[in-house]
Structure formats: structure tokens, C-alpha cells
Amino acid sequence: MESSQLEHILNTNYSKKYKGSIQYGTAGFRTKADVLEHVLYRMGLLAVLRSKVKNAAIGLMITASHNIGSDNGVKLVDPAGEMLEATWELIATNLANVEDSNLIFTIKQIIEEQNVDMSTEATVIIGRDTRESSPTLLNAAIAGIQALHGIVKDFGIVTTPQLHYLVVCTNTNGGYGEPTLNGYYTKLSKAFKCIRKNKINNGLYVGVLSLDAANGVGAIATKEFNDYLAETITINMYNDGLGELNHMCGADYVKVQQMPPATVPLKPKVRCVSIDGDADRIIYFYLDENDKFHLLDGDRIATLVAAYFKELLRESRLSFQLGLIQTAYANGGSTNYISNVLQIPVVCTSTGVKHLHSKALEFDIGIYFEANGHGTVLFKETVIQTIKNTIKDPELSMIEKTAVSKLLNIIDMINQTVGDALSDMLLVETILHEKGWDITNWEKMYKDLPNKQLKVQVSDKNVITTTNAGRQCVTPKGLQEEIDKVVSKYEKGRSFVRPSGTEDIVRVYAECENSSDLNELIVNVASLVY
């Protein structure tokens, strides 16, 4: 392709004014919204090229998840709903940072190096969260897509997992579900209702919960979803969009601060959930009779789900290989419980769902959750087929048949494309309902080690590099030895530091047996980072 054929892509409305460099990180580009317009334009261009290479629709989501309202971001979604392939992350970073004078050359280079057939049709499926800056950034992305003659399918304001769902459904011609929001709500709610059979309460389980929607897009989705779920569960929503996005609320705030969100009225033992700004994370919490806060995070959800699958497989007499994927942030109490009590293999990967997701694909049924509540369950296609064939077996006993039929509904209830707060919530509610458990029964499965996270501001976070799934520092030289020395003083002590991929900070994590030691431990480790 001649450069002259690309001249029209130079659009002065989206020229690069930002002087700093920006990186496609753990969750795409994420930074102050006002420096992102040229990035969105260029990601529009790139999404078209990616779509042509894959000969399939590509997703483009405009969100900064749990970040403050003035931030924004963009990530591309590959055809099967997974995060953008790693080599293209580098291409994206380069494209976002080149000067305008090099834009045509860079696009030409991508076309040549990736063998892009420019005659292939391209489709980009777009979604955005509720941020004020999102419409402007949307226009920039659309301009980029149209500059390379791509087809835009704009689904407006949707949650991140809804966007992933829409991409997969589009690329499978409806095989995964109908590629509309109605299709999404119908698929999930139908499976939920099928297992629950209109019985709202069961034993100690009461079908009422409070939901903190982080004043984000999850509030809109929850309102819409409620119409499909009516009479099977009552969701009382707070932080429903009128307040400030992610401000003193949402899953990240509750998890990191280990305290309830502001403005959610709390009654003892009432199940509460917090989702994040783009509704791909969920955590549970409650207050006890003494107003003590109890958190049930992603690790708790993972263990509940893993134990449930183990039970269903035993009852159905199906033998599939179960695996559970965590990151370094998983509480040692949960890892111990999964390996020693549930006896399910556990794998630890680097932070960021793409790492967990790809590892989970290696198991017949791969359950993955980050401690912050981001996760889902993946089933191999052969597993789904076997389950579908088994249900037709006339020899099945009643117990086997019930378990197999539950498995089939659970598969439909789970958004396998990515962690999904609303789908995960239905899964947890289904399991608690079935067991007749209240939230304290669930919490009794195992004991969390007291734990804490800190954010440390440093002049250059990238001075710290890590290995072993982020658990050990490689540079600066000597830092890991210093950390080890501190940690060795505490019973069941564990601590690590790593640069965040989404914020300009270094994260410090620590856990140990005695809560009275925790502050000292984490402060001592954090002080090594300054």
C-alpha cells in the first residue's frame, strides 16, 4: 500500500498534543481522560487492522473501571472475547506514542508486517461506561474506525463484560447467545431462574441483597437486569449513578480499604455486594451484630464455586479436571484451603486477568478469580458437549440427572468471556440458595489471614521489576533480600511489591497470622521501596 493512499488518516482534530508517553498496560490504556483523544482515534485505526487480520469483529471498550471519574481508558477485545494478544499490545503502545508526522508510516508498517489484507471487511463493536469524557472519546474512536472504512457497531453505554459478550456472540453468529443486551439478560436470568425454580428463600438463605453499584454503568445494567430477575431475587441498589463514580464506593474501595462503602445503609448480617465502575468485579461483605466489617472477596467466591463444582461433578459422576487460578494477591488462607481441603490444583499467575484466563483454559473446568473480585469459570468445548450428551442418557439416576442439569444451567449463567460482576453474583446467589446458607455460613469455610495493601508513590515505578508471578523483585538489586529479612520475622508472613500496571504507583501487599503485626510488617516493607 502506498503512503499516499493513507494520507486521509491524518486528522487534525485528533493530532497528538500530549508530550509524555503512554503504555498499553494490564487493562489497556488508562490515564487522565484529557490526554486520550488521539489515543482513541489511533485505537480506532488499529481495531480496524486487527479486525481485518482476524477476519472477525473486534471489541473496543472505553472505560477506566475503578479509577476516579476524571480518568478514562480504552482496551481492545479479541474475537473470542479475550484481551488483546500481547504482541499487539506493543503495537498499540507504539502507535499511541508516535508523532503525527510518523502516523502514516507506522500504520503502513503494521499493514505490511502483519500482512493485513486491506480488502477484508472490518467490524468494530464499541461500548463505553458512564464517564463524562466517554462520548468525546467515542467520537474519536469512531473517526479512526471510519478513516480506515471499518463498520462501527456502537452499543452505547454497556458494562465491560457485556461488551465482551457482544463480541463473542457476533463472532459465533449467535452460537454463544444473541448479540444484544436483551440476549445477554435473557440467557443469564433464564438459567438462574431454572435452578432457583421461583423459590426465593431456602433455609438460612434469604433472597434479598444490597448492591453498591459504584455510581457506574453497573447501576444501569442492574436496573435493566432487575426486570428479568423480578420475583426471584430482590436487589436493593445504592450508589446508583447519582453520586460520584467510584468515590468512597465500589468493589475496589471496599476491598482495598476493607470498609463498607459510604451511603449504603447496613443492617447486621445482610448480604451486600459492591461492583466496580465497569461491572467486571464483585465482592461481598456484611456487618456482624457488633458492627464489625467482614469481607468476602474474589478468593471466597473462587472457593465457594470450586467446592460447588466438585460436588456437582461427584453427584453427576462426571470426571473432569478442575483447576483454580489465583494471583499473588490471593489470601494464603484460601490457597491452603483449596489445595489441602478441596484438593483442587491451584496455579498462581501474574496479575491481570489475561494471565489467569489463559491458564484457566488449560483445565477442563478452569476457575479463576483475582482477590479483588475479577473472575469467571471456563469450560472446554468438549466438556460442554459431554455434559450436553450426558443429559440425554436414559440410564441416569435422579441424583445424576439433577446434577447434570444444574451444570448445564450454570454454564449458561456464567459469562465465560470475562469476569462479570452480575453473572458472578447470580452464581454465588445460586450456590448459597442451594446450600441454604447465609453469608456467615459461607465465611466459615476457611479463615483468611489478616492482610493489607498499600500504594506507594515513587518517581519511577518501573525501577521495580519482578519475577515468579510478581512475587519476587528482580530489581533494584538487593530489594528482595531486604523484604525477605523483614517477612521472616512474622508468623505465616508473606509480602511482595510490584509496580501497578494501571496506576502510577507501586503496590505493597502483606499478610501474616497476627493482625496486631500486620501494620508493622507492611510499613516496614513499604519503607524499603521509597
The catalytic site residues sit at 65
Contact between 89 and Zn ion (CB under 5 A)?
Answer: no
Given Zn ion, ligand NG1, none, residue 278, with its beta carbon under 5 to 8 Å by kind, binds Zn ion
Give Cα separations from 455 to 22, 237, 250, 261, 308 (angstroms): 20, 30, 18, 19, 35
Distances in whole angstroms, Cα of residue 211 to Cα of each of 223, 236, 266, 372, 432: 11, 6, 11, 16, 17
**Is the Cβ of residue 276 or residue 511 nearer to Zn ion in the bound state?**
276
Kindly state the smallest distance separating residue 31's Cβ from ligand NG1, in Å.
12
Strands 282-287, 293-296: pairing is antiparallel
At 53, list the grid cell: 487480520
Q: Are 108 and 3 in contact (CB under 8 A)?
A: yes
414: partner contacted, choices Zn ion, ligand NG1, none (Cβ within 5-8 A by kind): none
List the one residue from 78, 240, 278, 424 that touches Zn ion (CB under 5 A).
Answer: 278
φ, ψ at 209 (rounded to 5°): -145, 160
Residue 448 interacting entry, from ligand NG1, Zn ion, none, C-beta within 5 to 8 Å by type: none
Contact between 71 and ligand NG1 per CB under 6 A: no
CB of 10 to Zn ion, least distance (A): 34
Helix axes of 421-435 and 181-196: crossing angle, nearest 10 degrees: 10
Position closest to Zn ion via CB: 65
As beta bridge partners, residue 467 has 472
Which stretch in 83-91, 106-114, 286-294, 495-503 sits in contact with ligand NG1 by CB under 6 A?
495-503
**351 sits near ligand NG1 (criterion: CB under 6 A):** yes
Name which of ligand NG1, Zn ion, none residue 276 binds, using a CB cut-off of 5 to 8 Å depending on partner kind.
Answer: Zn ion
SS3 state of residue 348: strand
State which amino acid sits at residue 203.
G
Out of 176, 184, 192, 329, the only residue in the binding site for ligand NG1 (CB under 6 A) is 329
Interacting residue with ligand NG1 among 299, 370, 412, 424 (CB under 6 A)? 370
Three cell numbers written together for 454:
498499600
Binding span for Zn ion by CB under 5 A among 38-46, 110-118, 268-276, 311-319: 268-276
Q: Which of ligand NG1, Zn ion, none does residue 215 bind (CB under 5 to 8 Å by kind)?
A: none
Stretch 374-403 residues interacting with ligand NG1 (CB under 6 A)? 374
- Answer whether 400's CB lies under 8 Å from 387's CB: no
CA separation (Å) from 265 to 177, 219, 278, 282, 443?
A: 37, 17, 23, 19, 21
Contacts of 153 (CB under 8 A, 6+ apart): 57, 123, 124, 125, 126, 170
280 binds Zn ion (CB under 5 A): yes
Q: Closest approach of Cβ 520 to ligand NG1, in Å?
A: 22
Q: State the binding partner of 501 from ligand NG1, Zn ion, none, CB within 5 to 8 A by kind.
A: ligand NG1
Pairing assessment for the beta strands 365-369 and 346-349 based on DSSP bridges: unpaired
Binding mask 401-430 for ligand NG1 (x = CB under 6 A): ------------------------------
Among 6, 9, 22, 27, binds ligand NG1 (CB under 6 A): 27
Q: Residue 332's Cα: distance from chain center in Å?
A: 21
CA angle 31, 357, 333 (to 5 degrees): 95
Of positions 26, 65, 134, 423, contacts Zn ion by CB under 5 A: 65
**Distance of closest approach, residue 484 Cβ to ligand NG1, in angstroms:** 21
Q: Are 365 and 381 in contact (CB under 8 A)?
A: no
What DSSP element (H or E) covers 451? strand 451-456
Which of the choices ligand NG1, Zn ion, none does residue 503 contact, using the CB cut-off of 5 to 8 A by kind? ligand NG1
**Residue carrying C-alpha cell 436483551:** 182
27 binds, among ligand NG1, Zn ion, none (CB under 5 to 8 A by kind): ligand NG1
Minimum distance, C-beta of residue 65 to Zn ion, in the bound complex (Å): 3
Separation of alpha carbons 33 and 18, rounded Å: 12
Among 129, 276, 299, 370, binds Zn ion (CB under 5 A): 276
Tell which one of 97, 170, 303, 372 touches ligand NG1 (CB under 6 A): 372
Binding site for Zn ion (CB under 5 A): 65, 276, 278, 280
- Which residues of the chain form contacts with ligand NG1 (CB under 6 A)? 26-27, 65, 329, 351-352, 370, 372, 374, 500-503, 507
